[in-house]
């Protein structure tokens, strides 16, 4: 195991030739299941704030968070990002992350871009260690309203102090912002669609979305429920925009805690009947 299981590790995690910022909460992977958290398009390990600690307390599971290359204090990424960057993160990087932390069993829990990466992994990689997926505000295809919000974010970056605010958390805020924004606003990205991965997910899914999500509609969740062969639980949260973990923290924690507890009950029954 290459990881130092600590809230304040002393070095970056070496993965696929790059060093990745990370932090760990709760029990290590050899002591309990692990929740691997995948951040949004402008997120990083620190921008989960105190949610990972609360998640470890609510579930009793270990929680691992990390910043993808080009985010937080992780090493830079290659620019410009390819338009299939989420698929590449899922297939070319995430398997090495899981191996590096000594992942035994648990779930992938992603937000926004991170939820899409988790879904791509779940539908593309046969990994029996992954027992479930928690997808918060996932996107599988573009929607005009979401693209309009991303275009507004570009204006805000150019005309407000957004870059300075991002610099508090990201080593290179220009790389972080443009790697996300330029990809989503590229003319060819309008046709982006990875919904076919849903057809191949074979583990339980918890899908969480805010009713007032400004980046995606309930159509993203309907895509999961209409295509997934595995059980899907849905939480559509009122008074909640794009970040359920902050807009409706207690309800999100409760939903994830119930989901993980149910997975443990299922696994216990399977072991007893084996």
89-148 pLDDT tens trace: 999 999 999 999 999 999 999 999 999 999 999 999 999 999 999 999 999 999 999 999
What is the average pLDDT across 228-253? Answer: 98
| Full-model pTM | 0.96
- CATH fold for the domain made of 13-273: Rossmann fold (3.40.50)
pLDDT of residue 80: 95
Placement of tokens 């050899």 in the chain: 30
* 2 band by pLDDT with thresholds 50, 70 and 90: confident
Across the chain, mean pLDDT equals 96
Q: How far apart are CA 46 and CA 71, in angstroms?
A: 10
Which residues on neighbouring strands pair with residue 25, listed in sequence order?
A: 63
- 219 DSSP assignment: H
What is the average pLDDT across 17-29? Answer: 97
Least confident interval from 92-106, 190-204, 235-249, 260-274: 260-274
Model confidence at 252: pLDDT above 90: yes
* 73 band by pLDDT with thresholds 50, 70 and 90: very high
Q: Distance between the two ends of the chain, CA-based, in angstroms?
A: 29
Q: How far apart are CA 42 and CA 113, in angstroms?
A: 9
Residues sharing a CB contact under 8 Å with residue 63, sequence separation 6 or more, in sequence order = 24, 25, 26, 34, 35, 37, 52, 53, 55, 56
Model confidence at 85: pLDDT above 90: yes
Helices and strands of the chain, counted as H and E runs: 10, 9
Closest of 12, 41, 170, 40 to residue 109, by C-alpha: 40
Model confidence at 16: pLDDT above 70: yes
Helical (H) or strand (E) element with 234: strand 232-237
pLDDT of residue 266: 84
What is the average pLDDT across 226-252? Answer: 98
Domain spans in the chain, listed from the N-terminal domain onward: 13-273
Backbone angles phi, psi at 243, to 5 degrees: -125, 85
pLDDT of residue 272: 60
* 222 band by pLDDT with thresholds 50, 70 and 90: very high
What is the bridge-based pairing of β-strands 205-210 and 232-237? parallel
pLDDT of residue 173: 98
pLDDT of residue 1: 57
Q: Which comes out higher in pLDDT, residue 233 or 264?
A: 233
Closest of 16, 35, 3 to residue 90, by C-alpha: 16
Q: How far from the centroid of its chain's Cα atoms is residue 117's Cα?
A: 7
pLDDT of residue 274: 52
Placement of tokens 């939480």 in the chain: 235
């Amino acid at each position: 195991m290459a990881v130092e299981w600590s809230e304040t590790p002393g070095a970056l995690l070496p993965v696929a030739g790059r060093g990745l910022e990370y932090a760990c909460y709760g029990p290590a992977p050899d002591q309990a299941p692990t929740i691997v958290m995948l951040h949004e398009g402008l997120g990083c390990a620190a921008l989960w704030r105190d949610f990972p600690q609360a998640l470890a307390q609510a579930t009793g599971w270990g929680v691992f968070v990390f910043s993808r290359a080009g985010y937080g204090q992780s090493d830079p990424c290659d620019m410009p990002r390819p338009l299939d960057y989420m698929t590449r993160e899922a297939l070319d990087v995430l398997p090495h992350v899981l191996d590096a932390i000594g992942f035994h069993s648990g779930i992938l829990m992603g937000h926004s871009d991170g939820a899409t990466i988790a879904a791509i992994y779940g539908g593309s990689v046969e990994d029996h260690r992954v027992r479930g997926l928690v997808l918060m505000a996932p996107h599988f295809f573009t929607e005009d309203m979401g693209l309009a919000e991303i275009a507004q974010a570009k204006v805000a970056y150019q005309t407000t102090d957004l870059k300075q605010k991002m610099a508090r958390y990201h080593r290179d805020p220009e790389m972080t912002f443009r790697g996300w924004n330029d990809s989503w606003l590229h003319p060819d990205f309008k046709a982006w669609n990875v919904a076919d991965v849903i057809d191949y997910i074979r583990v339980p899914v918890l899908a969480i979305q805010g009713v007032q999500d400004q980046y995606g509609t309930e159509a993203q969740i309907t895509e999961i429920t209409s295509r997934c062969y595995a059980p899907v639980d849905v939480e559509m949260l009122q008074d909640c925009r794009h970040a359920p973990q902050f807009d409706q923290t207690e309800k999100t924690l409760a939903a994830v805690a119930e989901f993980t507890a149910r997975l443990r009950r299922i696994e216990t029954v399977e072991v007893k009947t084996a």
